[in-house]
Structure 1
């Protein structure tokens, strides 16, 4: 059976979106692991993102949306829990453990040992005064003289690989029969409860990035954040919306999917605000005199 062109494009876009969200977590998890901290991430950002994903999944199941939309909803929730688990580990459990160790070493009765140097060297003094300054994040690397081209090439290759993996994944699914024609769109309205959940997810998506934008502004830095994380988020949101729109432009279908379109396309504006913060704060870190 020949697959209609609109369904093919919808499936390809949906598969690319799924690939984007699968790989999206990797650069941020690595950034947190490299820094041994998740202080760059706003916990409220992740919590609101999780609430949006839970509402998104429940609403998609209730409204019987496309399989790609439901599959993405399941994976969104999975990714959120991993990110939150890492944030809790680094920012709460590990930081408290480090604080207890520091307190034990700084106990009043504990004097310097025989092996301790009488005077701290210059390197350790600088590290004590500026403990975070030695940490190189993806932001400062991106705007350093040596790292800008390398980071740009790496991010471009990553996006191309995601596009390739998503397209190839859909093609394999189609050839093996895992993906089949969806048929005509039933001319029925989505249940009211599903629409309420859909609009609730859109609300959380559209407001989730504000805490992260504020956190960046308050810290005057995007250190600890992976720019590739937000690049793949943008690719995922664009193709997610494209998978819905390319399937059909029929009136009832669009009304049924409006909450999910708002949640994916609407967040792009905030993503570009964060990109602007990456550029501005990255240049300040690369050239500190500009901020003086």
Structure 2
């Protein structure tokens, strides 16, 4: 059976969006793990984002939207819980555990001075001996840093192309194997009122979620601890998510039914570009790139 071009485009865009959101979490999770901290992320940002995803999923199921939209909704919620769990672990559990360690216990493991030790530490010698090791660590850190140039640009471009390739190839494989078929959406039917309310609620949460993160960056005068690739993939995911809906049909009732989800995906792009501007501004202010591990 020949697939209509609009359904093929919708499926490809939806698959690319799904690939973007699947890989979206990886750069930020790695950034948090490398820093052993998630202080760069705003807790309120993740909580509001989770509320938006929950409303999005329930509303999409209720309105019987495209399977790709429902699949993305499920994955969004899983990603949110993983990110929140990591944030709670690093910023609350780990920090509280470190503060519980008594100072006296640390002192017990500190060897006292011997009779042959100098009265004043030889700071010059210690700097000389430690400098090569620190230099090597700094070089490696800069080489694999999410915000170092030109490695950053190369890595980000390659990542975006891989996401586009994986998403497109994944849809073709699913189509050829019969795992993905004609969607059969009915553009002329209206969504239930409750589903629309949830859809607009999710749009509201999405449109406000990044504001706490923007404020956190402004307050800290830094984007340290954030992965720029996280927001790049978010932009790609939102663009293709909206394109998957629009390419399927431009019929009035269909667009009306999907308006909340279009607002939630495309409306957040403005705030993503504000965050990109913060990366550029604070990177220049700090002399070449945001510091990590704030």
Partner of 2:96: 96
Runs of 5+ consecutive residues of structure 1 not aligned to the other structure: 125-133
Alignment pair present for 1:166 and 2:164: no
Partner of 1:3: 3
Alignment pair present for 1:271 and 2:272: yes
Partner of 1:211: 212
Runs of 5+ consecutive residues of structure 2 not aligned to the other structure: 128-137, 290-294
Could you say if the C-alpha distance between residues 43 and 14 of structure 1 is closer, same or farther in structure 2, counting changes exceeding 3 Å? same
Partner of 2:130: none
TM-score where L is the length of structure 1: 0.87
Inter-partner Cα distance in structure 1 for 2:141 and 2:225: 9
1:67-96 per-position Cα deviation (integer Å, ceiling 9, x unaligned): 000000000000000000000000000001
Partner of 1:128: none
Inter-partner Cα distance in structure 1 for 2:238 and 2:259: 14
Partner of 1:113: 111
1:206-242 per-position Cα deviation (integer Å, ceiling 9, x unaligned): 0000000000000000000000000000000000000
Partner of 2:36: 36
Inter-partner Cα distance in structure 1 for 2:71 and 2:266: 18
Partner of 2:232: 231
Inter-partner Cα distance in structure 2 for 1:183 and 1:77: 26
Alpha-carbon contact 2:145-2:152 (below 8 Å) kept: no
Alpha-carbon contact 2:239-2:265 (below 8 Å) kept: yes
Partner of 2:134: none
Give the Å deviation of 1:141.
6.2
Give the Å deviation of 1:136.
6.2
Let me know the Cα RMSD of the aligned residues: 2.4
Partner of 2:14: 14
Give the Å deviation of 1:284.
1.2
In the alignment of these two chains, the number of paired residues is 273
Give the Å deviation of 1:100.
1.5
Alignment pair present for 1:249 and 2:250: yes
Could you say if the C-alpha distance between residues 184 and 69 of structure 1 is closer, same or farther in structure 2, counting changes exceeding 3 Å? closer
TM-score where L is the length of structure 2: 0.87
Partner of 2:52: 52
Could you say if the C-alpha distance between residues 139 and 275 of structure 1 is closer, same or farther in structure 2, counting changes exceeding 3 Å? farther
Partner of 1:69: 69
Give the Å deviation of 1:6.
0.3
Give the Å deviation of 1:182.
1.9
Alpha-carbon contact 2:65-2:185 (below 8 Å) kept: no
Give the Å deviation of 1:121.
4.3
